[in-house]
Amino acid sequence: MRVTNNLIYGQSSRAIGQANEKILSAQEKISAQTDIVRPSDNPVGASQILMYEGNSNRLKIFDESIKMATSHLEYQEVALDSLNDSMDDAHSLLIQAQNDANTQADIDAIVQEVALITESMAELMNSKSADGNYIFAGTDTQGPPFILDGQGRYQWAGNEGQKYAQISENMKIPVTDSGKKLFQDIWTSRTFSAQLLAGDVSFSAKVENQGDFDKFMEDNYDPENPLSNVFTITTTPIVPAGNTPPVVADANLGADSKEDLDRQRAFDGTPGTYSITNNLGEVVSSGLYTAGKPITFSGMSFLMRGAPGATAGISLDKPRRDNVLNEINDTLAVLSDNNSTKGQREAAFSDATTSIKNAQRMVSEGRSSVGSRLNILRDRENFSSANQLSNAVTQDRVGGLDIAAAATELSMKESALSASQKVFTRMSNLSLFNKM
């Protein structure tokens, strides 16, 4: 075989080129910190790496959604905590205002302080998140959920929808709550109406125990059948043996004579009995009656001053919902009125206290719901972090680079290149005329 210069140069050039390619390949792997720079390096391993990388990228997208949801719910949690504290302060001040030792000036000072608290509560109900959206407005987050109307009452202006965040491929979580449920649709004090139907007595009625009366309303109030909400209280004289019963005036007929009326009034202190019946005539409560001694029944108190033989009608009022701020402001208006009676003030205190208590219960439920969702988000965040770490470990196992082995291989490739270059130099100097 004839050895030409072209053959020598060609073989040497290929050898040097191959050595350079191997060096560049080793350097690429070291620079990329992976054993699979291109799919051809390891087709199966490359597909696995892409699969794990895609999974991690999806998790990172959900991580952003989790961060956004966490931020919204944390804003909501802070607002609800502050609202609960404000209602505690208002409740304490209203209790303080019920002290009979207070002068009107003292009450006016308390009214001013509670009024400032309600203004702060209104701002909290219209709280915004970091992105400028109203957090209690439902899905209509560009406008305030609560506005003051011309009569100075807070009205609901949002909607009852909820915004959701996608925190995994198959899971969404609500990140907003409607302020209508939390603050607007708050049960006010449940009440009843009563009027004297027959009898020459003075008559008054009130809610003595709100808790007992609320329970009675829950068990007995029928919104579809108004007659079921009507009761009657009747007092009856006890006739002593051998005595003639006194004449009891009838509200419709009137006393027969002055003598009969006098006899009736003289009988006022005589005990009798009472019975409370429903619209079907069934007795639901009964007992002894003494003029001037209250008759209590399921949280209601009825006071008659006069002889037995009177009849009064009782009607359960339709339960009402309103914004807790409106109920507090209504109470402040009664307290600010110098001409309001003690009974009116007691009723106003009861109304405000009941609304605050019911609002705090709703806020407590809202805080619990927000806390549960935050726990879910933290669990999902931890799950995502663990999954991404697992993906990274698996990717490194499939295509990871052993730096020590790669450095050794690079050194060997460089030595091979150096040897190829030396061989080329020696061979390029060969000639038939050179002495061996």
Residues 239 and 131 in one domain: no
Position 202 in a domain: yes
Predicted confidence (pLDDT) at residue 250 exceeds the cutoff of 90: no
Give the gyration radius of the chain's Cα atoms. 44
For range 252-269, the mean pLDDT: 46
Tokens standing for residue 229? 């909400």
Q: Do 266 and 308 sit in the same domain of this protein?
A: yes
| Alpha carbon distance 118, 57 (integer Å) | 47
- Report the share of the chain in percent with pLDDT over 70: 72
- Asked whether the predicted pLDDT for residue 277 surpasses 80, the reply is yes
**The last residue of a domain, from among 319, 347, 369:** 319
Determine the structural domain holding residue 212 and report its residue range.
192-319
DSSP H or E segment with residue 122: helix 104-125
CATH number at residue 106: 1.20.1330.10
pLDDT at 402 over 90: no
Checking DSSP bridges between strand 146-148 and strand 164-168, what pairing results, if any? Answer: unpaired
% of the chain beyond a pLDDT of 90? 47
Domain match, 173 and 264 both: no
Shared domain for 315 and 222, answered yes or no, is yes
Same domain, 314 and 260: yes
Are 138 and 239 in the same domain? Answer: no
Cα 37 to Cα 29: distance, rounded to the nearest angstrom: 6
**Domain assignment of residue 120, yes or no:** yes
Q: Whole-model pTM above 0.85?
A: no
Q: Do 203 and 302 sit in the same domain of this protein? A: yes
Same domain, 70 and 170: yes
109 pLDDT more than 90: yes
pLDDT level of residue 384 (50, 70, 90 thresholds): confident
Is residue 87 situated within a structural domain?
Answer: yes
- Stretch 67-81: mean pLDDT, rounded? 93
Give alpha helix (H) positions in 296-402: 324-336, 342-399
| HSE, side-chain direction, 13 A CA sphere, residue 406 | 18
Q: Is the pLDDT of residue 37 over 80?
A: no
Q: How confident is the model at residue 249 (pLDDT cuts 50, 70, 90)?
A: very low
Do the domain assignments include residue 139? yes
Question: What Å distances lie between residue 341 and 98, 193, 290, 351, CA to CA?
Answer: 13, 19, 27, 15
Out of 295, 319, 343, a domain closes at 319
Positive or negative, the CA dihedral 32, 34, 35, 38 is negative
CB 138 within 8 A of CB 158: yes
Position 21 in a domain: no
Of 34-48, 111-125, 227-241, 383-397, which has the strongest mean pLDDT?
Answer: 111-125
Total domain count for the chain?
2
**Where does a domain end: 271, 287, 319?**
319
Whether 154 is in a domain gets the answer yes
Give tens-digit pLDDT for 214-246: 899 999 999 999 999 999 999 998 866 555 544
Indicate whether 179 and 80 sit together in one domain. yes
Residue 4 located in a structural domain? no
